[in-house]
Amino acid sequence: MTTRFKFHQLLLIGFLMITCAPVWSAQEWSELDQLAADAQQQVVSWRRHFHSHPELSNREFETAIYVEAALREMGMEVETGIAHTGVVGLLKGGQPGPMVAIRADMDGLPVTEQTGLDFASTSTSEYQGKPVGVMHACGHDTHMAMALGAARVLSAVREQLPGSVLFIFQPAEEGAPLGEEGGAELMLKEGLFERYQPEAIFGMHVGLNVPGGQMAVRSGPAMAAVDYLQINVLGEQTHGAAPWAGVDPIVASSQIIMGLQTIASRQLNITKVPYIITIGKFDAGVRNNIIPDRAEMHGTIRSFDVGMQDDIHARIKRTAESIAASSGATAEVTITKQYPATVNDPGLTEQMLPTLQKVAGDNPIITPDLVTGAEDFAFFARQIPGLYVFLSASDPDQTGFQAPSNHSPFFDVHEPNMELGVRAFSHLVVDYLQQQ
């Protein structure tokens, strides 16, 4: 009798938990959009502040103070000083449920702004020992503003949220200064996902050639893995008038540069995914008539598949060493993995695609080409399912207009598009929590 009573009692409790779970009506969904519209003026103000006051990677001190104040004003639990300057805010919903994360990056670039905007950056700093201008030339100012906008929207409905939201403001997405650690990898190394345990993470990037007023998302690999390549070729110094008396590392290096391109054109299956090997810096010699004993090459490798990435590395090493040996030189190859590929979890992408389409309305969600740029959102998405969305930076009414690219000194964002980003973040969070 007691066992049967307890069994029926448990069934009743389970039924009540299901039937009493918050169910959002169509009106409540539309309220999210209205809250995003109401927040737009503040989002623009946030963006312009960040744009006027950019800071370089691992130096986002004032930016972190500003973000912290905004999150605390919304009543969140805030932690600072993660990976040097990172900030996280925890919004606890009024109903039990899982945790989901939104990530925004904080750092600017060593670029002197030339947009002519009223709120253009006049900031300067030092980068690799040289004085530089500093600019939010990649849209991180808008990423922070949209994340704060979503925080404001979701804070207004926190009692209805069946779970929690972790807002991650990450430093050094563009890469930590030489000799320093930073970014998403360091945040994770310092235990971010041990202290907080989100089930999924959402990120967004403006620009990247998405047409005006639209969003784009690609399931699976979306942005490339990045590796740093250095090849030192060691020869034997001699007079330029008697090259046979030594070993010319410049000629050997030239042959290596050409040989590396045959890896892409002749050695790997190009029908799978693209990959790039680029030598961007070459340094050798001090005088026109002296063949030096050493040449250095520095480059970048871009790939989308882990197995292919390792295969490319092995082929680069073999190619460089063999070509150098054929001329009597020696090649030392060093490859440093920097960022992994940014991969949108296929299950999460499929789950949330209807949400993005709902937010986009009549504009279809675009499936973009693979982006050979990199994003250290990838480190988060290796730990938990991630979804990284691209948002247009350009004005949809400027047909035929070719917007300046990310990292350009002329890069700008059509500010009305940020409302779409805030709506997307807000609906992704609510729909994800509702579906768990």
| Residue 13, pLDDT score | 38
The residue type of 154 is: L
Percent share of the chain, pLDDT over 70: 93
Query: Could you say which of 31, 199, 296, 415 is catalytic?
Result: 415
Quick one: average pLDDT of 192-214?
95
Distance CA 168, CA 177 (A): 21
| Residue 341, pLDDT score | 96
Which domains are seen in the chain, by residue range? 26-224+341-435 (3.40.630.10), 229-338 (3.30.70.360)
pLDDT for residue 214 is more than 80: yes
Distance CA 140, CA 103 (A): 11
Distance CA 349, CA 42 (A): 30
Q: Which tens digits make up the pLDDT trace of 3-53? A: 444 444 444 334 333 334 445 666 677 899 999 999 999 999 999 999 999
Q: Which tens digits make up the pLDDT trace of 49-101? A: 999 999 999 999 999 999 999 999 999 999 999 999 999 999 999 999 999 99
Q: Which tens digits make up the pLDDT trace of 352-404? A: 999 999 999 999 999 999 999 999 999 999 999 999 999 999 998 876 567 89
Whole-model pTM? 0.90
Quick one: average pLDDT of 332-351?
97
The residue type of 369 is: D
- Helix axis angle, 140-156 to 26-52, nearest 10°: 140
| Residue 1, pLDDT score | 44
| Residue 374, pLDDT score | 94
| Residue 263, pLDDT score | 94
Distance CA 344, CA 368 (A): 13
Confidence of residue 173 (pLDDT cuts 50, 70, 90): very high
Q: Position of tokens 């448990």? A: 10
| Residue 401, pLDDT score | 60
Quick one: average pLDDT of 235-255?
97
Q: What is the mean pLDDT of the chain?
A: 93
Percent share of the chain, pLDDT over 90: 86
- Helix axis angle, 306-326 to 249-262, nearest 10°: 150
Query: Could you say which of 55, 173, 174, 339 is catalytic?
Result: 339
Reduce the secondary structure of the chain to three states and give it as a string.
CHHHHHHHHHHHHHHHHHHCCCCCCHHHHHHHHHHHHHHHHHHHHHHHHHHHCCCCCCCCHHHHHHHHHHHHHCCCEEEEEECCCEEEEEEECCEEEEEEEEEEECCCECCCCCCCCCCCCCCEEEECCEEEECECCCCHHHHHHHHHHHHHHHHHCHHHCEEEEEEEEECCCCCCCCCCCCHHHHHHHCCHHHHCCCCEEEEEEECCCCCCCCEECCCEEEECEEEEEEEEEECECEECCCHHHCECHHHHHHHHHHHHHHHHHHHCCCCCCCCEEEEEEEEECCCCCEECCEEEEEEEEEECCHHHHHHHHHHHHHHHHHHHHHCCCEEEEEEEEEECCEEECHHHHHHHHHHHHHHHCCCCCECCCCECCCCCHHHHHHHCCEEEEEECCCCCCCCCCCCCCCCCCCCCCCCCHHHHHHHHHHHHHHHHHHHC
Residue 415 catalytic? yes
Quick one: average pLDDT of 184-194?
98
Quick one: average pLDDT of 146-154?
98
- Helix axis angle, 140-156 to 417-435, nearest 10°: 50
Q: Position of tokens 């930073």? A: 182
Paired strand residues for 227: 301, 337
Residue 388 catalytic? no
CB atoms within 10 A of CB 277: 20
